[in-house]
């Protein structure tokens, strides 16, 4: 297992020199953030990022993420230009030593929460998704800005993209994803870079937009679109676990045994009674609905030796900054994951 930690570059309030102090930390997970979606990343920017990471004693092997342009998801004729740029990014990242690229195929919005600062009983704050709050939101008003919401769209531009997606069915999205994979996976194979799709978060439609990477059957279908070890998964326990229809330890064991999990995001969520609302919690199994020990046991027993990072954490001990991405709680999560991994490893030998 290679323990990793997401870092948003030099603008991140979390200092990279602090990340390296987390026991057993192996890799930084990062990206080039100042290039518009769909464009080529300058080689100089990639090399600068690599040098920063390696100068701090960590490995530069996982990118999260290279975003997919909406024209690719929509299957528009203009997608060809953006696919060619995507291929070039894969080649250049592979040449820089990157082993895994995380990406997603969620229309318009990345991961979505309805509140950034729900106060817990212990005084910490957490990200939450409450169905009743979402039902009151209108992304077309231009008045909201939450994590996962692309702020590059104007109010008019967002309305236009929603109109385009109104004509896209789930099957259309599957077709467009299959076309994309057919173009990029051969390039990834040549570059030695494993592509790892992130599941939809949450794993059901929002605002009428289609979402397809949501459950075990759809993960099976995805992997069959292009049957290659280079076409794999970022298995996010919190994203898939936000649907009470997903058996997370079972799914982890199944896809790990197939060698198709290239990157693990481990976090915990507490599922609420309405079946679609949830609260992010501390990583410890007793706080949420995910059994982290069972998840890690499933990884180990099926030969997983890839990258794991602690996903979203609470904001604790007065820390401020990017919600869900403070240092303190994610560092606790990393240590919790590493401790379970060691314990399971030693007791199963």
What residue has token string 């930390």? 25
- CA–CA gap between residue 232 and residue 260 (Å, rounded): 5
Active-site amino acid positions: 198, 236, 265, 311-312, 325
Token output for 296: 């890690």
| Full strand arrangement of the beta sheet holding 125-129 | 115-119, 125-129, 278-280, 269-271
What does DSSP assign to residue 40?
P
User: Residue 24, exposed/middle/buried by CB under 10 A (0-12, 13-18, 19+)?
Assistant: middle
DSSP 54-104: HHTT-EEEEEE--PPPHHHHHT-TTHHHHHHHHHHHHHHHHHTT--EEEE-
């Amino acid at each position: 297992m290679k323990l990793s930690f997401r870092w948003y570059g030099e603008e991140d309030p979390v200092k990279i020199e602090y990340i390296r102090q987390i026991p057993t930390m192996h890799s930084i997970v990062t990206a080039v953030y100042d290039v518009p979606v769909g464009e080529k990343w300058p080689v100089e920017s990639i090399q600068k990022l690599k040098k920063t990471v390696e100068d701090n004693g960590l490995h530069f092997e996982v990118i999260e993420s290279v975003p997919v342009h909406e024209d690719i998801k929509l299957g528009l004729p203009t997608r060809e230009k953006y696919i060619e740029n995507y291929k070039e990014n894969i080649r250049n990242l592979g040449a820089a030593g990157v082993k895994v690229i995380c990406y997603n195929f969620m229309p318009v919005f990345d991961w979505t929460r309805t509140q950034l600062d729900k106060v817990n009983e212990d005084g910490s704050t957490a990200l939450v998704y409450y169905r009743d709050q979402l039902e009151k939101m209108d992304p077309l008003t231009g008045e909201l800005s939450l994590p996962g919401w692309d702020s590059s769209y104007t109010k008019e531009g967002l309305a236009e993209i929603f109109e385009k997606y109104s004509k896209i069915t789930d099957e259309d999205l599957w077709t467009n994803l299959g076309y994309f994979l057919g173009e990029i996976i051969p390039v990834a194979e040549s570059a030695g870079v494993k592509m790892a799709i992130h599941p939809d978060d949450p794993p059901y439609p929002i605002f009428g937009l289609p979402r397809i990477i949501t459950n075990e059957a759809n993960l099976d279908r995805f992997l069959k679109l292009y049957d290659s070890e280079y076409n794999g998964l970022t298995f996010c326990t919190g994203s898939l676990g936000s649907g009470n229809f997903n058996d997370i330890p079972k799914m982890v064991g199944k896809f790990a045994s197939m060698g198709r999990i290239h990157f693990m995001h481990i976090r915990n969520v507490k599922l609420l009674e309405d079946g679609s609302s949830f609260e992010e919690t501390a990583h410890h199994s007793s706080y949420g609905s995910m059994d982290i020990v069972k998840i890690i046991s499933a990884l180990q027993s099926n030969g997983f030796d890839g990258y794991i990072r602690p996903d979203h954490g609470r904001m604790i001990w007065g820390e401020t900054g990017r919600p869900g991405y403070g240092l303190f709680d994610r560092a606790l999560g990393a240590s919790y994951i590493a401790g379970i991994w060691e314990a399971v490893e030693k007791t199963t030998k």
